[in-house]
């Protein structure tokens, strides 16, 4: 007779154990953020404990209401949302063109857009900083530290990503539907708006949400290309670490706040995130 532990039930139990262990391991740093954000300065030091019964709300209220962090979050929302809208509109047209028309150099253009996504931001940061602050200047008007400047910069990695994702989906829509619509007298714009957009709506939603999350999370460009007007929440987080000392509780609180919107969106895209982040190479 087989014992319980080597049987099917035992195996299943074992797998549950692994999942639970891995989940705790994955969640722990986020949980630690929460713990630190709930503690006062005095509670932070000494013997580390893993549970908390009191909640020190001032870690949240002071930076958000009395400091500049409220406006940082506002900037982040504007930049991420503006960038996402721009990216999706452009990506739909680009994906349609790359998928439906055979033109010379299409593969090269496609590869070039992908290298933009893959290139280290540190390499682009330098010329962009010079262009934004010194070269593309008309009088007092420049791109440095403006929302529109940041919205454009994030296209550098969000646009290739969205084009790649949407091209795969548009490729899957049979071209005969296009042709039928064209015989009925639809223009190219009409085809895109009435056929391509509704049929690829789930893909567009995934591209939309993931682009938004990437723009929200981005740090390096935001740190170099903004100074005060268009600072985002991620740069604000890094500003907590100063020479004179860091208010760890408030930093944890703001980190937690910056984590919440992506987590809310995650529940919508969780099924597609693997497909999205591998550029459609793997799908569930």
Subset of residues 212 to 241 that bind another protein, contact rule: CB under 8 A: 213, 216-217, 219-220, 224, 234, 237-238, 241
Smaller CB separation from another protein, 201 or 238: 238
**What is the spatial distance between Cα 161 and Cα 57, in angstroms, rounded to a whole number?**
39
Smaller CB separation from another protein, 172 or 180: 172
Contact between 125 and another protein by CB under 8 A: the answer reads yes
**What is the spatial distance between Cα 158 and Cα 110, in angstroms, rounded to a whole number?**
14
Contact between 118 and another protein by CB under 8 A: the answer reads yes
Choose the binding region for another protein from 16-24, 52-60, 179-187, 189-197 (rule: CB under 8 A).
16-24
**What is the spatial distance between Cα 276 and Cα 205, in angstroms, rounded to a whole number?**
11
Smaller CB separation from another protein, 180 or 227: 227
Subset of residues 167 to 206 that bind another protein, contact rule: CB under 8 A: none
CA distances from residue 67 to 33, 72, 254 in whole angstroms, order as listed: 20, 10, 12
* Residue 22-41 contact track with another protein, rule CB under 8 A, x = bound: xx-xxx-xx-xx--x-----
DSSP state of 228: S
Subset of residues 140 to 169 that bind another protein, contact rule: CB under 8 A: 152-153, 155-156, 159-160, 163
Subset of residues 75 to 114 that bind another protein, contact rule: CB under 8 A: 86, 89-91, 93-94, 97-98, 109, 111-114
- Own/partner long-range contacts of 222-225 (Cβ < 8 Å, ≥24 apart): 222/150, 224/125, 224/128, 224/129, 225/125, 225/128, 225/129, 225/132, 225/143, 225/144, 225/145, 225/149, 225/150, 225/153
Q: Beta partners for 137?
A: 142
């Amino acid at each position: 007779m087989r014992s319980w532990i080597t049987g099917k039930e035992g195996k299943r139990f074992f797998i549950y154990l692994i999942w639970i262990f891995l989940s705790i391991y994955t969640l722990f740093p986020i949980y630690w953020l929460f713990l630190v954000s709930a503690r006062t300065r005095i509670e932070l030091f000494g013997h580390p404990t893993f549970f908390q019964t009191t909640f020190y709300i001032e870690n949240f209220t002071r930076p958000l209401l009395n400091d500049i962090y409220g406006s940082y979050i506002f900037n982040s929302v504007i930049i991420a949302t503006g960038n996402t809208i721009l990216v999706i509109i452009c990506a739909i047209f680009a994906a349609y063109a790359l998928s439906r028309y055979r033109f010379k150099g299409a593969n090269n253009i496609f590869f070039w857009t992908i290298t933009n996504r893959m290139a280290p931001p540190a390499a682009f940061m330098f010329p962009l900083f010079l262009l934004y602050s010194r070269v593309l200047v008309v009088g007092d008007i420049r791109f440095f530290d403006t929302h529109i400047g940041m919205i454009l910069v994030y296209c550098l990695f969000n646009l290739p990503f969205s084009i790649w994702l949407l091209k795969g989906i548009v490729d899957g829509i049979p071209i005969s539907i296009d042709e039928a619509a064209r015989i009925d007298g639809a223009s190219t714009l009409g085809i895109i708006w009435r056929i391509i957009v509704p049929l690829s709506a789930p893909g567009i939603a995934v591209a939309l949400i993931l682009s938004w999350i990437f723009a929200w999370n981005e740090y390096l460009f935001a740190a170099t290309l903004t100074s005060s007007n268009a600072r985002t929440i991620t740069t604000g987080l890094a500003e907590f670490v100063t020479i004179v000392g860091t208010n760890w509780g408030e930093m944890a609180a703001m980190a937690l706040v910056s984590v919440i919107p992506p987590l809310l969106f995650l529940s919508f895209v969780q099924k597609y995130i693997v497909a999205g982040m591998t550029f459609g190479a793997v799908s569930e």
